[in-house]
Amino acid sequence: MDLAESAPAGPATAAHARGGIALFRVGGILVRLDYSWFFIFLLLLWSLAAGYLPAAHPNQPPGFYWLAGLVAALLFFGSILLHELAHAFAARRYGIETPEITLFLFGGVSQMRAEPARPAAELVIAIAGPLTSVLLALLFWAIGTGLPDDSAPMLAVVCRYLTWVNAALAVFNLLPGYPLDGGRVLRALLWYRTGSLRRATRTAANVGKGLAGAIMVLGGVQIFMGNLIGGLWLLFIGMFLRGMAARGYENVVMRQALDDAVVEQVMRREPVSVSPSLSLRQLADDYFLVYGFRSFPVVEDDTVLGLIAIEDMRHVPRTEWSAVRVADRMRRVGPDTTVAPDTPLTDALRKLSASGPGRLLVMRDGRLVGLLSKEGLARFVEIRHVLESA
């Protein structure tokens, strides 16, 4: 089932999107497979080939069931992809780009660059996915019922399955709990009524948490009644939905806090720098342990060479720290490690999320003027949120 819907690209979703396998592009949108997708694909294939298809159309060779199951499973995930593409193309109509779609254990997620500017846009984007699933259900129903009697019975069985699963996908995602599509519809209506995206998201996310809790309780009941696998599956879905609802609200708070801010407002000014000739032992004893920072710019003769983070020491045996120099482990200056002070924080956040150490050198005209970190960004968002709520 398609449980993760059109998530805004924040630190969590950006990190998630980097994993997996890049497949192809559709209209400029990169489609990825998360590694967890293979687990659910194999589980679905097995349940179709060993259970559903033999029961629906018995007395066929085992290989025939596995082939039909493979086709049905691929069409099912193709349906999820079309569901997500509908969200992405609807968002594009309103100027919101979706660089990636990732298929994973619980369905699919669209990585949108921004939140919609108006409730009407949010409503259209949210409803595009379930509407696509309904149209796919009608398409497969028409194909299945339009086949001549006994001409292709297995094809008819596969079409019935895809009709049911797309209809179920649409109905489930219309449940009024964020981040499901129904929760986004609820958010759009609340946003229109209150005029506040943050308040609407908080309410929709709380409804989503309640829905997740109900699913988890149902899973516990299923386990108590002896359905261990089904119950555990519902528990996992409930926990996942609850986490997504909380992160969805946090992303909105972060976006609104960052909307009109630039890097210069958040960066740590005049950061402590280190020499490239320092040993890792000196770096650990005289800098990491003394200052408590997780990274330092590497500077020699007023020239910025790179960035060294505590993560860069992890794969160096402690016995070799005295022999290895900072220059040997630092990340060199480049587009991936630097940002300009007048860069909007929403743009810097995407680069920061993709950065290994979670730090960026802030450069102006080739000179180091500050250091941007995830921790500093989080503090800025928290303080701004408290001040705006006062």
Nearest to 353 by CA among 11, 1, 8: 11
**Residue 387's pLDDT band (boundaries 50, 70, 90)?**
low
pTM of the entire predicted model: 0.69
Indicate the range of 4-8, 27-31, 51-55, 90-94 predicted with least confidence.
Answer: 4-8
Please tell me the predicted confidence (pLDDT) of residue 87.
Answer: 92
When pLDDT is averaged across residues 100-107 and rounded to a whole number, the result is: 80
Cα separation, 100 vs 124, in Å, equals: 20
> Cβ–Cβ contacts within 10 Å for residue 160, how many?
16
Q: Where are the alpha helices (DSSP H) in the chain?
A: 11-18, 36-47, 53-56, 62-93, 119-146, 153-173, 181-194, 197-224, 228-258, 280-283, 289-291, 326-329, 345-354, 374-389
Each residue's pLDDT tens digit, 73-100 = 999 999 999 999 999 999 999 888 888 8
Whether the per-residue pLDDT at 2 is higher than 60: the answer is: no
How many Cβ atoms are within 10 Å of 116's Cβ, its own excluded?
24
Is residue 7 very low, low, confident or very high in pLDDT (cuts 50, 70, 90)?
Answer: very low
Radius of gyration of the chain (CA): 25
What domains are there in the chain, each with its CATH number?
A: 11-258 (no CATH), 263-389 (3.10.580.10)
* pLDDT over 60 (residue 16): no
SS3 state at 179: coil
Percent of the chain having pLDDT more than 90?
Answer: 24
pLDDT reading at 3 higher than 70 = no
Write down the pLDDT at residue 76: 92
The residue with greater pLDDT, 2 or 257, is 257
- Write down the pLDDT at residue 282: 93
Question: What is the reported pLDDT for 354?
Answer: 67
Q: Is 317 helix (H, G, I), strand (E, B) or coil?
A: coil
Q: Does the structure show a pLDDT above 50 at 6?
A: no
What are the φ and ψ backbone dihedral angles of 179, each rounded to 5 degrees?
A: -100, 15
List pLDDT tens digits, range 145-176: 887 756 678 888 999 999 999 999 899 889 88
Task: Please tell me which residue, 43 or 137, carries the higher pLDDT value.
Answer: 137
Is the confidence at residue 4, as pLDDT, over 70? no
Choice among 327-336, 337-346, 379-388 with the minimum mean pLDDT: 379-388
Higher pLDDT residue, 134 or 178?
134
DSSP string over 44-91: HHHHIIIIIHHHHS-S--HHHHHHHHHHHHHHHHHHHHHHHHHHHHHH
Residue 356 has pLDDT above 80, yes or no: no
Non-local CB neighbours of 151 within 8 Å, separated by 6+ positions: none
Instruction: Identify the three-state secondary structure at position 8.
Output: strand
| Most confident range, picked from 131-135, 154-158, 229-233, 379-383 | 131-135
**Cα gap 353→334, rounded to integer Å:** 16
Q: What is the dihedral of CA 131, 158, 6, 242, to 10 degrees?
A: 110
Q: Which two tokens stand for residue 129?
A: 């996915």
Q: 331 pLDDT band (50/70/90 cuts)?
A: confident
Confidence band, pLDDT 50/70/90 cuts, at residue 271? confident
**Residue-averaged pLDDT of the chain:** 83
Strand bridging mode 359-364 / 338-339: parallel
CA distance 111 to 170: 20
> What pLDDT, in 10s, does the model give residues 212-259?
888 889 888 888 888 777 788 788 888 888 887 877 777 776 676 666
Tokens read off for 109: 């997620």
Say how far apart CA 186 and CA 192 lie, in whole Å: 10
pLDDT at 114: 73
As given in the structure block, the two tokens for residue 349 are 């956040």
Residues 6+ apart with CB under 8 A from 373: 268, 294, 295, 352, 358, 359, 360
Q: What is the dihedral of CA 252, 258, 260, 265, to 10 degrees?
A: 160
Describe the strand order of the beta sheet including 295-300 as a list of residue ranges.
295-300, 303-309, 331-332
Least confident of 115-124, 244-253, 260-269, 359-368: 244-253
